[in-house]
Chains A and B, each alone.
Chain A
Amino acid sequence: MIVKMKKAKVFALKEYEDKLKRSLQRFGVLMITNENSTTHIADTQYEDSIISRSNRIVKELSKYEPKPSFFNPKFQIVDYDRFKEIHPEQLELLDQVEKTLADVSKLKEENELSKESITSFAPWLKLDVTTKDISNLYYVNIYLGQVLAQDVESFSEFLVTSNLEYEIYDKDANGVAYAIVSKNDISNDLKAAKFNLVELPVLDHSILDEVSFLQNKINENLETITNLEEKLKTYALSLDEIRLLSDQMLSEKELKKYEAEKTERTIYFEGWVREDQVDLLEKAVSKVTSEYEIDLRDPLPQENPPTHTKNNKFVAPFETITNMFSMPSYHEIDPNPVMSFWYWLFFGMMMGDWGYGVVMAIVFGLFLLIQKPKGDFKKLVQVLFYASIPSVIFGILYGSVFGISFDIGKALFGVPFKLFDPMSDPVTLLIVSLAVGTVHIFVALFVKAVRLAKEKDYLGILSDVVSWYLIIPGLVMLLVLKNIQVIAWSMVGVGALMILLFAGRDNKNFFKKITSGLGGLYGISGILSDILSYSRILALALSSGVIAFAMNIIGGLLLGPWYGYIFGVIVFIIGHIFNFAMGLLSAYVHDSRLQYIEFFGKFYDGGGYAFTPLKLQYNHIYEIEDNL
């Protein structure tokens, strides 16, 4: 059912604008559409930066929190009185955590540098003079450098021929370390001899001392890091405060999008409100001030109000299937009550295995119960949970459990529940699928008739709906019942005549009327191909059944020796999980397709947009508790 909307204008004194906005946000009942709100561009830099900073902190620190398990998930529930106030401590905490994180990364970086230095010093540990002394020499030059292992031989010859004094130190990946003493500047000669100069930092203590100094520093830093991480762990205990901050800022940001229309003394907001929430709107405003005025009116015919669908517990989850196609527009019939039943039924016919049905019920039921998902995702899981029931029913009718042929009725009560086996008797299921599909299409045509009646297009009902109600059963009778051919032919004839006469009812021109009529008659091929499309029910039922059956055979081939049982069971489990997942996906996709194209194609336009009132926004928090 599509909820009726009212256009509301809320007047108040100017000084109450902010309070009014907050109260409207708290109640979440008004979808504000006034011009100032839709045109002005809010500056939300501050909010955005706090949101992204807090989200980063949540990401970094959540690893220090105790991990919530599947069976024990965490739900952060906040009272509205707490939510509405951003405490300065929260911002302080944000700063502190950021500073600590920065300190940690700085120390880690420092350690990386120290480690690099230590490795580069490795060949020079035996150098017994300080580098400061070397650089201060006045009469001789000392060259420090390395020679690659393959060049050492030629370099030794060079040293001998040049008659240079030198000392050899250790070697590493960059080659053997040398210190060479010379009175002259021989840097070019050395370079020619493949001697690579090494720049050591100028220090007034030995390299060995420097290494142990760096090592000490690394250890000290590591200790500081552990202390800081301890500190982060204590911060992580109040991570919920940061999460709260992020969500509070999100709501503040949302609030900034809206601005009232102003006069000298008063302001007003204009927007859509659900008819069943008018009293809530009144309450939201009266909480702020007693000097107010709410002006309500019905939507004008040229206006396009937002859509909000309100359905019972069974139908509501299926709204997500429809909305993925297109939301109903405000003036349309809500297709969900009819569609939901068929979606539910077809899903079961396509899964068609009561083993898988029971698994669906357990998996999705537990997920709903324990993880408590929200929004569209929750609706999707609910759809799958509901669909477990027809999966079990059709599984019993097909006599299939995890691909094993088994009649549960016979086993328990001695009465066969199994109607037919799709694998050995696919033609029966094909006929059933097409028959059910025809009924589905007839239902869609009926909804179309209701819609045409609303538009007072009674000829349309004859040409677009009643005609098919005659033609399709007529054709079936022609095929099946050979003895009442006269009735069958006359049904087809009358139906065709209706289309021929009335399909072109909107055209004044006689020839156009005739061509439209013929075009309408051509629609028979469309309807027939629509009906044929339901053969996918058979294909999917059979494919999940046969693949499960094949997995059982492959697993069964391995049984025998004790290790065969291990592999066999693994094949069973993996094979069935795969088949189960593929079956779910195929059923979801093809069931949707049958609704979107074969069903909605007959009567449904969609094109609505969702009712999105100004309300509190939150991503991290599960729920805000509030006594309105």
Chain B
Amino acid sequence: MTPGLIYALLGAALAVALAGSGSAIGVAIAGKAGSGVISEKPELFGRVLILQVLPGTQGLYGFLLSVLILVSTGVLAGNPAALSDETGMAFLYASLPIAIGGLISAIYQGKAAAAAIHMIAKQPTMTARGMTMTALVETYAILSLLVSILMWVRIPV
């Protein structure tokens, strides 16, 4: 096992752990707001749930990039490649956009989702607008993921 591989693994770990933590925090923020609303209006459960899971996608994006790194370094297949230090570092850097962008955007998306949940408590017909406003935050996680993928795809192993 080369140090390069360790760097690549660190990248995979950061992508899923940071983006996942962000999603966990975001979903929890939205969940707190949601529980309050559901206690008063149980019939809104379905709509609230949709808004609550929206900040969960960043965790999936982080997971996605982790899997991609694990695939291209051969770890998943069971024969890890002997990566050079530079290549390993490259994978580590490729993981950073979604790791950091995912972490922070998920937390803020959670706050936006909580606000949208409060809105639909009063105006259940506005669910779609709340969803759209919440999804706007995710744009930047998507851009992060995009850059991560564009970096990952050009790294020669």
Stretch of A103-111, A296-304, A453-461, A541-549 contacting B (4+ beta carbons < 8 Å): A541-549
Closest to B126 in A: A324
Stretch of A256-264, A308-316, A590-598 contacting B (4+ beta carbons < 8 Å): A590-598
Q: Which residues does chain A contribute within 8 Å of B82, judged by CB atoms? A: none
Q: Quick check: B135 and A426 within 8 Å, CB to CB?
A: no
- B60, B68, B136, B146: the one contacting A582 at CB < 8 Å is B60
Given contacts A535-B143, A597-B132, contact A582 B67 (CB under 8 A): no
A114 CB to closest chain B CB (Å) equals: 35
Q: How distant is the Cα of A550 from the Cα of B62 in the complex, in angstroms?
A: 13
Interface residues on B, range: 20 to 34
Q: How distant is the Cα of A324 from the Cα of B126 in the complex, in angstroms?
A: 7
Q: Quick check: A536 and B53 within 8 Å, CB to CB?
A: no
Q: Which residues does chain B contribute within 8 Å of A550, judged by CB atoms? A: 63, 67
A-contact 0/1 string along B52-69, CB 8 Å cutoff: 011011001101100110
B152 CB to closest chain A CB (Å) equals: 9
- A539, A553, A592, A596: the one contacting B61 at CB < 8 Å is A539
Given contacts A543-B57, A553-B76, A585-B50, contact A592 B63 (CB under 8 A): no
Q: Quick check: A590 and B153 within 8 Å, CB to CB?
A: no
Q: How distant is the Cα of A532 from the Cα of B67 in the complex, in angstroms?
A: 25
A423 within 8 A of B: yes
A340 CB to closest chain B CB (Å) equals: 16
Q: Which residues does chain B contribute within 8 Å of A536, judged by CB atoms? A: 139, 142
Q: How distant is the Cα of A555 from the Cα of B68 in the complex, in angstroms?
A: 17
- B138, B139, B149: the one contacting A542 at CB < 8 Å is B149
Given contacts A535-B146, A543-B61, contact A592 B68 (CB under 8 A): no
A538 within 8 A of B: yes
Q: Quick check: B60 and A547 within 8 Å, CB to CB?
A: yes
A37 within 8 A of B: no
Q: Quick check: A547 and B64 within 8 Å, CB to CB?
A: yes
Q: Which residues does chain B contribute within 8 Å of A427, judged by CB atoms? A: 150, 153
Q: Quick check: A586 and B128 within 8 Å, CB to CB?
A: no
Q: Quick check: A539 and B63 within 8 Å, CB to CB?
A: no
Interface of A: prevailing SS = helix
A222 CB to closest chain B CB (Å) equals: 33
Q: Quick check: A546 and B68 within 8 Å, CB to CB?
A: yes
Q: Quick check: B143 and A582 within 8 Å, CB to CB?
A: no
A57 within 8 A of B: no
B123 CB to closest chain A CB (Å) equals: 12
Q: Which residues does chain B contribute within 8 Å of A425, judged by CB atoms? A: 153
Q: Which residues does chain A contribute within 8 Å of B41, judged by CB atoms? A: none
Q: Which residues does chain B contribute within 8 Å of A539, judged by CB atoms? A: 61, 142, 145-146
- B63, B68, B128, B135: the one contacting A590 at CB < 8 Å is B135
Residues facing B in A412-442 (CB within 8 A) are 423, 425-427, 430
Q: How distant is the Cα of A427 from the Cα of B154 in the complex, in angstroms?
A: 10
A367 within 8 A of B: no
Q: Quick check: B60 and A592 within 8 Å, CB to CB?
A: no
Q: Quick check: A592 and B64 within 8 Å, CB to CB?
A: no
A-B Cβ contacts below 8 A, count: 72
Q: Which residues does chain B contribute within 8 Å of A321, judged by CB atoms? A: 128
Closest to B144 in A: A539
B6 within 8 A of A: no
Q: Which residues does chain A contribute within 8 Å of B32, judged by CB atoms? A: none
A490 CB to closest chain B CB (Å) equals: 32
Q: Quick check: A592 and B76 within 8 Å, CB to CB?
A: no
A336 CB to closest chain B CB (Å) equals: 15
Given contacts A543-B64, A550-B67, contact A325 B128 (CB under 8 A): yes
B131 within 8 A of A: yes
Q: How distant is the Cα of A582 from the Cα of B23 in the complex, in angstroms?
A: 14
B71 CB to closest chain A CB (Å) equals: 8
Q: Quick check: A426 and B153 within 8 Å, CB to CB?
A: yes
- A325, A532, A542, A593: the one contacting B135 at CB < 8 Å is A593
Q: How distant is the Cα of A543 from the Cα of B129 in the complex, in angstroms?
A: 24
Q: Which residues does chain A contribute within 8 Å of B64, judged by CB atoms? A: 542-543, 546-547
Q: Which residues does chain A contribute within 8 Å of B146, judged by CB atoms? A: 430, 535, 538-539
B73 CB to closest chain A CB (Å) equals: 14
A186 within 8 A of B: no
A524 within 8 A of B: no
- B56, B63, B132, B145: the one contacting A596 at CB < 8 Å is B132
A533 within 8 A of B: yes
A589 within 8 A of B: yes
Q: Quick check: B53 and A592 within 8 Å, CB to CB?
A: no
Query: Beyond A543-B57, A543-B61: 7 further Cβ-contacts under 8 Å?
Result: A427-B150, A430-B146, A532-B143, A589-B54, A593-B131, A593-B136, A596-B132
Residues of A whose CB lies within 8 Å of any CB of B are: 321, 324-325, 423, 425-427, 430, 532-533, 535-536, 538-539, 542-543, 546-547, 549-550, 553, 582, 585-586, 589-590, 592-593, 596-597
4 A-B pairs with least C-beta separation? A324-B128, A546-B64, A593-B135, A550-B67
8 contacts between A and B (CB under 8 A): A532-B143, A546-B67, A582-B56, A582-B57, A585-B53, A589-B54, A592-B131, A593-B131
